[in-house]
Amino acid sequence: MLFTYKVILPNGKLFQQTLKAKDEEEVATVLRSKNLQILSIRKIRQQQSIFAKGVSNFEKANFCRYFSVMIKSGLSLSEALDIISSETENKTFKSILQDLQFEIQQGGSISDTLSKYPQVFDEVFLALVKAGEHSGSLEKTFYYLSEQLYASHRLTKKIQGAMMYPAVILIAMLGMGIGMMLFVLPKLSETFMKMKIEMPPMTKAVFAFGTFVGKNVMPVSFVLLSVIVIIVFLFTFYQTRRAIGSFLVNLPILSKLFRQMDWARFARTLATLLQSGVPVIESLNISAQVLTQNDMKKVASNFEKELEKGKTIAEVLGKGKKAFPSLMIQTIKTGEKTGTLDSILLDVALFYENELEDMLKELSSMLEPIIMLVLGIAVGAMVLIILAPVYSILGDLQGPGGAAGR
């Protein structure tokens, strides 16, 4: 639980801050141990919701950049965190930064405090911070982290941008389909079913469905809404997103795309860890966590064992049957020989990020005509099914009775 407290400092100044603790008694004990005069302690009511706003990579990147600059300028960690938290609008992140500030004031470490929030800070982030604390280079560590997070944010935005047009078209198609099913089809069904005319089986089935929907608009609407709510609700759980993601990344049509993404993220993560002084074996094990393809994960599971045998990173990556591309392996081999592995890995990451961007553009340009073709076929099928009885009526009117009238 989070508490806010007001105390009088030994110098007579009023001080207000927040603290994470089990109860008010624990807060009071901590404050008394620092010889502070307590004025008030109040529990902060936090709304618990599955839809509560998380912390984006962009927000974390901004924090790392500002924190690095402030440390470089000579501000203490506590002062820097106080300034950043006061400017942070995200309540979740503000609470974390305030907790971090208090723990630092109590003599705690940044990595230990942030490890309490695994849903926000992954192992890569924590390992880099821990390495920076041990080496006394937090300024550089947070700068590297900001670059890593900004790169991840840009990559995510490129993917979202490429998929935006197809997603909008699909949502529009779905919306129009539901609107037609609930409001248009029932009226057409009622009109044509009353005419007692002979209709093709498909048309009869569609109109029978339309009649059913027309008589049960509220129940059908409730079922549709419930399905949408359940799908959205399931996607709020990490396990659901992970299961769907694991299925999608291994689909043949998407596998090549995700392979490029894996190579780029693996190279950038490994480069950032090595630049920050994290040991090679630990860096490889942490970097392996960004991999999604099964064959790459299999190679990664043997990283530690193979390196302990004295093999190089290039040799270990080359053990997999084309899990990692030969271009990447040869480039890493060169970096190991020349002692420039970290900078070489950044070049590799940039290369595959550009390749991924080109693939996304190609995929988007391919999806547009396919979606339009599917949309045209769907509209054409509905027109034929619904217009068939109209032509049947016109044919009847122009039959023997119609001819006699002339």
Place 70 in a pLDDT band, splitting at 50, 70 and 90. very high
One DSSP character per residue, 11-34 reads TS-EEEEEEE-SSHHHHHHHHHHT
What average pLDDT does range 212-232 have in this prediction?
86
CA nearest neighbour of 31 among 10, 54, 52? 10
**The pTM is what?**
0.65
Per-position b or e across 391-405, b if 16+ CB within 10 A of its CB = ebeeeeeeeeeeeee
Residue 293 has pLDDT above 60, yes or no: yes
DSSP state of 45: P
Residue 371 has pLDDT above 90, yes or no: no
φ and ψ at residue 257, rounded to 5 degrees? -65, -45
pLDDT score for 48: 45
Mean pLDDT of the chain: 81
What average pLDDT does range 20-24 have in this prediction?
76
Place 394 in a pLDDT band, splitting at 50, 70 and 90. low
Per-position b or e across 323-338, b if 16+ CB within 10 A of its CB = bbeeebbebbbebeee
CA nearest neighbour of 263 among 306, 327, 316? 327
pLDDT score for 32: 83
Q: Which residue has the higher pLDDT, 223 or 372?
A: 223
d(CA 17, CA 4): 6
Over the stretch 123-151, which tens digit does the pLDDT of each residue have? Answer: 888 888 888 888 788 888 898 889 888 88
Of 238-242, 259-263, 300-304, 368-372, least confident by mean pLDDT is: 238-242
What average pLDDT does range 210-222 have in this prediction?
84
pLDDT score for 171: 83
CA nearest neighbour of 269 among 251, 288, 287, 253? 287
pLDDT score for 253: 66
Q: How far is C-alpha 63 from the geometric centre of its chain's CA atoms?
A: 19
